[in-house]
Amino acid sequence: MTQVNPNYLQIENNYLFSKISKEKEKYINKHKKNDLIDLSIGDVTLPLSKSCIAGINKASLLLSDSKTFTGYPPSSGHDFLKEQIIKNDYINLNIQKDEIFIGDSSKSDISNILDIFKENITVALQDPVYPVYVDSNILRGNKIIYIDNLDTFLPCNEKIDIIYICSPNNPTGNVIKKDTLKKYIDYAIENNCLIFFDSAYEAFIQDENTVHSIYEVENSKKVAIEFRSYSKTAGFTPIRLSYTIVPKEINLNLSNSLTVSLNFLFKRMKDTKYNGPSFLSEYAIYNTYITNSKKELKDNINYYLENTKLLNDFFKTRNMSTTSNINSPYVWIKCNMPSWDYFYYLLENYMILGTPGIGFGKSGEGYFRFTGFSSRENTLEAIKRLEKIKPT
Amino acid sequence: MTQVNPNYLQIENNYLFSKISKEKEKYINKHKKNDLIDLSIGDVTLPLSKSCIAGINKASLLLSDSKTFTGYPPSSGHDFLKEQIIKNDYINLNIQKDEIFIGDSSKSDISNILDIFKENITVALQDPVYPVYVDSNILRGNKIIYIDNLDTFLPCNEKIDIIYICSPNNPTGNVIKKDTLKKYIDYAIENNCLIFFDSAYEAFIQDENTVHSIYEVENSKKVAIEFRSYSKTAGFTPIRLSYTIVPKEINLNLSNSLTVSLNFLFKRMKDTKYNGPSFLSEYAIYNTYITNSKKELKDNINYYLENTKLLNDFFKTRNMSTTSNINSPYVWIKCNMPSWDYFYYLLENYMILGTPGIGFGKSGEGYFRFTGFSSRENTLEAIKRLEKIKPT
């Protein structure tokens, strides 16, 4: 029988969030009721904004008429949306249309792009970190070095091929300072390595001096790829839309001292393995851009941030909070016990679901993640339940 | 600098249809007008059916209200649609919900699934064939054996890991007979190989005795994966929806004489690298199923088939037709010259775009593909232009 890629036997049997969702199901079946408050998966709960819904309706009208129907999108998405991305999200950053690849999911892009590189390369990941980075690198047989502290990690005495930076970080909510990021860019240029910058949560940044895009840092276009998603920014989790910026300046060396453009290879991969994003989803956010309705999105983000702040404020009273600055929809707390123990403790006694920190890497042990994505009502109810825990 | 996967340097610089679209653009720029009739890419032109549009509008309503809003889909899509697929597309074939993986594109599934297997395996592909099969296998470093004739290919004296069968075939339109398919299933079981069955064009089948699904053939669930797409069936090219069936009976051997389920590995891959299909697209086709509106889709398919027949009838008069039975939206003709020469000949003299047969593999040289996906008007105009060519 056709043989299995041995790397597939090296990852955990279950993806972290599939495991949590199974535990949730088990609880509901056991107790024959769902009195749970789910603060685990980072999934939005507010409905799509009015301008997005209007965009979907406009798009469906266009697709219902042969005069305005369009078929396959380009594999990197339509220019009409790329123009708005440049105009709204990359003001004065000189990003070109053919450097933008619109897709259905950052998760797909960030894991599939590894296919372009040799197997068994070395990558540096923050710990704790989004588990997709870990799993997708294990699937390529890559060696993973963990970054405990971004400020002290460099210089690294091992040759690294790719450094991943997620800012604001999932799960901790920490942001990288501009001057630290500058050090990473300089290091990457000097040491021929790439930087994958995941800014899925940039819309949540409150600190005024924090960069939203890595391209705000000088010379970054020589080495950095940026991943962005509308999932959290615009509440698009059900309708799938994201984009990846691959600057044309990034060249990869071939063994024969020639170079090849990463942008060219990424496009070639997309052309072969992908058929582009949905016109309906593109049009939803396009309509928000062209009708200047970004405030609707901002209002939703502020709602989630307020939930997050309420949770964090509670944990401050218990000395379990790890941050004073909220720049993401996540609360990362010290739970003072193994994180899966805390998971079952909260589930069985307080009917609250969260995410065990260990699921994000070994530095996450003893920590726990809550999200601000629930409703205000549920968030307040969760806090009420948590308040019943005796302070230690 | 991070090193490139050498397989990426082995594929053609341009994906076939990107190359054709560049030539089209060049023509329009040169002649400062677009008087072309495009019969090249297999892309639909009729608007979405009424029931699909109604489905999109219902879904957008659900997403506009917090009481009915749903976030991330399961990575294999929602059960509500899987139930309809089983009920409508796999009547009496005993397909289970957890064997169905709904996604945004067959192209993605059929290329990404190779990641689960070791590199450098051996695959057998029909020649001529959809170029994505070729490119995605080159990207894995796989050895490709070409099948000139499905009827005489077996037994093959080389060890094959995967056999691809596309029926109705793109580009030739040929269908595989049920008893031939049975031989492939038996061979695969006996020789521990897998069959990838691409039935993207099953809705176009006119021959009553031709199978629409490989699961109509006995024992096929032990070795066969089926890929289906709504792109041509429901005109979904702009809104992206497809599904893949991975039966739970398929087990892969590990070196230690244990086995692992391919269904499990495929789910694990999807969980890590994919976030599921768009709710809007799922709901569009769901609405067609539940309102018994499949006739709307059938009418569109008949429209394209009639175009295809008109083209084929013309080429019959020139003895260039290769088929008498229309079972796909494609006309595959013998063009009696190198196929790229014929491409430029038609483009420059008759303002008609088609697809050079050689783009589908070396057996395609001397052949040419037209599609029935244009409007009736354009199809008839193309025939009028072609009629001006002096018969040889």
Per-residue model confidence as pLDDT tens digits over A56-68: 999 999 999 999 9
* C-beta atoms of A72 and B111 within 8 A: no
A127 and A249 share one domain: yes
B39 within a domain of the structure (yes/no):
yes
If one counts every other C-beta atom within 10 angstroms of the C-beta of residue A377, the result is: 9
A285 and A267 share one domain: yes
Task: Kindly report the nearest CA distance between residue A252 and chain B, in angstroms.
Answer: 6
* C-beta atoms of B57 and A57 within 8 A: yes
Say whether pLDDT at A373 is over 80.
yes
Distance CA B166, CA B65 (A): 42
Q: pLDDT digit string (tens) for A309-332?
A: 999 999 999 999 999 889 999 999
* C-beta atoms of B275 and A1 within 8 A: no
- Considering only CB atoms, B108 lies closest to which of A8, A253, A274, namely A274
What residues of chain A lie within 8 A of the CB of B1, using their CB?
Answer: 192-194, 251-253
User: Looking at residue B257, what is its pLDDT?
Assistant: 75
- Considering only CB atoms, A64 lies closest to which of B13, B47, B268, namely B47
* C-beta atoms of A254 and B11 within 8 A: no
B86 and B150 share one domain: yes
Pick the last residue of a domain from A273, A290, A307: A290
- What is the CATH number for B212? 3.40.640.10
Task: Kindly report the nearest CA distance between residue A104 and chain B, in angstroms.
Answer: 8
Mean pLDDT, range A357-375, rounded to an integer:
96
Say whether pLDDT at A257 is over 80.
no
* C-beta atoms of A8 and B268 within 8 A: yes
If one counts every other C-beta atom within 10 angstroms of the C-beta of residue B287, the result is: 22
User: Looking at residue A150, what is its pLDDT?
Assistant: 94
Judge whether B325 and B207 are in contact, CB under 8 Å: yes
For residue B300, give the 3-state DSSP assignment: helix
User: Looking at residue B233, what is its pLDDT?
Assistant: 95
A131 and A252 share one domain: yes
**Among A115-119, A203-207, A250-254, B280-284, which is the least confidently predicted range?**
A250-254
User: Looking at residue A294, what is its pLDDT?
Assistant: 94
* C-beta atoms of A72 and B239 within 8 A: no
B305 within a domain of the structure (yes/no):
yes
User: Looking at residue B308, what is its pLDDT?
Assistant: 98
- The number of distinct structural domains making up chain A is 2
Q: Which residues pair with B368 in a beta bridge?
A: B333, B356
User: Looking at residue B11, what is its pLDDT?
Assistant: 86
Q: pLDDT digit string (tens) for A12-54?
A: 877 788 889 899 999 999 999 889 999 998 899 999 999 999 9
Residues in Cβ contact with A305 at an 8 Å cutoff, skipping those fewer than 6 apart: A204, A206, A326, A329, A372
A279 and A214 share one domain: yes
Helix axis angle for B131-138 and A262-273, nearest 10°, is: 130
B392 within a domain of the structure (yes/no):
no
A258 and A155 share one domain: yes
B300 within a domain of the structure (yes/no):
yes
Q: What percent of chain A has pLDDT over 90?
A: 90
User: Looking at residue B33, what is its pLDDT?
Assistant: 86
- How does pLDDT run along chain B (392 residues), one tens digit per residue? 668 998 998 988 777 888 898 999 999 999 998 899 999 988 999 999 999 999 999 999 999 999 999 999 999 999 999 999 999 999 999 999 999 999 999 999 999 999 999 999 999 999 999 999 999 999 999 999 999 999 999 999 999 999 999 999 999 999 999 999 999 999 999 999 999 999 999 999 999 889 999 999 999 999 999 999 999 999 999 999 999 999 999 999 887 778 899 999 999 999 999 999 999 999 999 999 999 999 999 999 999 999 999 999 999 999 999 998 899 999 999 999 999 999 999 999 999 999 999 999 999 999 999 999 999 999 999 999 999 998 87
* SS3 readout for chain A: CCCECHHHHCCCCCCHHHHHHHHHHHHHHHHCCCCCEECCCCCCCCCCCHHHHHHHHHHHHHHCCCCCCCCCCCCCCCHHHHHHHHHHHCCCCCCCHHHEEEECCHHHHHHHHHHHECCCCEEEEECCCCHHHHHHHHCCCCEEEEECCCCCCCCCCCCCCEEEEECCCCCCCCCCCHHHHHHHHHHHHHCCCEEEEECCCHHHCCCCCCCCCHHHCCCHHHCEEEEEEHHHHCCCCCCCCEEEECCCCCEEECCCCCEEEHHHHHHHHHHHHCCCCCHHHHHHHHHHHHCCCHHHHHHHHHHHHHHHHHHHHHHHHCCCECCCCCCCCEEEEECCCCHHHHHHHHHHHHCEECEEHHHHCHHHCCEEEEECCCCHHHHHHHHHHHHCCCCC
User: Looking at residue A68, what is its pLDDT?
Assistant: 98
Say whether pLDDT at A69 is over 90.
yes
User: Closest by alpha carbon to B244, among B281, B218, B213, B217?
Assistant: B213
Pick the last residue of a domain from B290, B317, B352: B290
- Residue appearing with tokens 């038996």: B186
Mean pLDDT, range A282-294, rounded to an integer:
97
Task: Output the average pLDDT for chain A.
Answer: 95
- Residue appearing with tokens 């809104």: B239
B175 and B75 share one domain: yes
* C-beta atoms of B73 and A238 within 8 A: yes
Banded model confidence at residue A1, pLDDT cuts 50, 70, 90: low
- What is the CATH number for B364? 3.90.1150.10
Say whether pLDDT at A252 is over 80.
yes
A72 and A17 share one domain: no
Distance CA A122, CA A124 (A): 7
Pick the last residue of a domain from B274, B290, B306: B290
Say whether pLDDT at A3 is over 70.
yes
Residue A37 φ/ψ, nearest 5 degrees: -110, 120
Optimal mutation site among B2, B110, B227, interface A, most CBs of chain A within 10 A = B2
Q: pLDDT digit string (tens) for A99-118?
A: 999 999 999 999 999 999 99
A266 within a domain of the structure (yes/no):
yes
Domain carrying residue A368 = 6-47+295-387
Residues in Cβ contact with B32 at an 8 Å cutoff, skipping those fewer than 6 apart: none
* C-beta atoms of A15 and B268 within 8 A: yes
B221 and B79 share one domain: yes
A142 and A203 share one domain: yes
Nearest CA in chain B to A66: B47
